[in-house]
Amino acid sequence: MKIAFCGKGGVGKSSISALLSLAFLEEGYRVLAIDADPSPHLARLLEIPQEIVPLAEMTELLAERAQKSGPYYTLNPKIDDLPEKFAVTKNGLRLMVLGAIRTAGGGCACPEQTVLKRLLTYLILSSREIVIVDMEAGVEHFGRATVAPMDVILVITQPLRGSLETTKQILKMAEELNLKKVFVVGNRVKDPSQEEFLRKEFGGLYLLSLSPDDELESREFEGKGLWDYRGKLFTQVKELKRRLQELIGETS
Ligand SMILES: Nc1ncnc2c1ncn2[C@@H]1O[C@H](COP(=O)(O)OP(=O)(O)OP(=O)(O)O)[C@@H](O)[C@H]1O
């Protein structure tokens, strides 16, 4: 299953991606997490201090292979075939980052988006393998259809005006791209009236609500990662995992 997390900046994409990765890992899945956010946080949340060679540098590799035996990405790589150089593995969880570092006014992210889209399109997964992608905030990856190869797209939203607007824009673009299995997940939903509001806004697309968790906030403040976090949000993210397995017809 390939799952993408989208939404406005700061809505909780990285935290929920990291927790969902850990929830699948706990259940014995092989997990590849990809941080496609230009200001990546997954490595910090997953307590991976090493530098990771950005996937964007794979462009050179792709070009090299194209000259020799055809482009690498047409070989339908499996997770194990992905070059080790671009990943760091911790307790069985593999993390890749898209990169590249763009300087102010440094221009377009086209090459990175192309690498990511090709990789996601051609990566072959077996039944208990999961790829979780923490996308860049906003709608750029919809404009470039980078999300098209995903099995499920989760748009994280908060009951706040700006977040709702971005969510609606994403849903509209997803519809234009004819993407199926696009769902909205409410984060920091404080009470039943907020949940009811979100359910009314998004109807059948609304999957579930996650509540605010002070423990998560304090961990962030203290700079602690999430490996040993077993708080309220982790329990709710495990429910999200169960719902995704149901949706995709994969039961444990
Ligand atoms: N349910 C929650 N309860 C409490 N704090 C939360 C919750 N979800 C996320 N946060 C906090 O909100 C902040 C932003 O979360 P996060 O970095 O996961 O968002 P993001 O959408 O990935 O942001 P960006 O787009 O800037 O990368 C973090 O400090 C995180 O700890």
Query: Consecutive 10-residue runs of the chain (252 residues): their mean pLDDT?
Result: 94 96 96 88 91 75 52 53 79 87 54 79 86 88 81 95 93 92 97 96 96 94 94 97 89 52
Extract the runs of DSSP E, i.e. beta strands, from 142-229.
152-157, 182-186, 206-209
pLDDT of residue 38: 77
* Probe target for ligand 1 pocket from 14, 34, 208, with the most ligand atoms within 8 Å of CB: 14
- 35 ligand 1 Cβ < 6 A: no
80 located within any domain: yes
CATH number of domain containing 188:
3.40.50.300
pLDDT of residue 143: 74
Domain tally, the chain: 1
251 located within any domain: no
- 137 ligand 1 Cβ < 6 A: yes
144 located within any domain: yes
Element (H, E) at 61: helix 58-68
Q: Could you give the CA distance from residue 147 to residue 174 in angstroms, rounded to a whole number? A: 9
pLDDT of residue 218: 93
176 located within any domain: yes
Yes or no: say if 16 and 145 are a contact pair by the CB < 8 Å rule. no
Nearest-atom index, ligand 1, CA of 187: 1
User: Which residue has tokens 């990662």?
Assistant: 225
171 located within any domain: yes
- 21 ligand 1 Cβ < 6 A: no
250 located within any domain: no
Among residues 144, 124, 165, the alpha carbon closest in space to that of 7 is found at 165
CA dihedral 175→178→179→185, nearest 10 degrees, is: 10
The rounded Å distance from CA 216 to ligand 1 centre is: 9
pLDDT of residue 77: 60
Residue 211's domain spans which residues?
Answer: 2-245
252 located within any domain: no
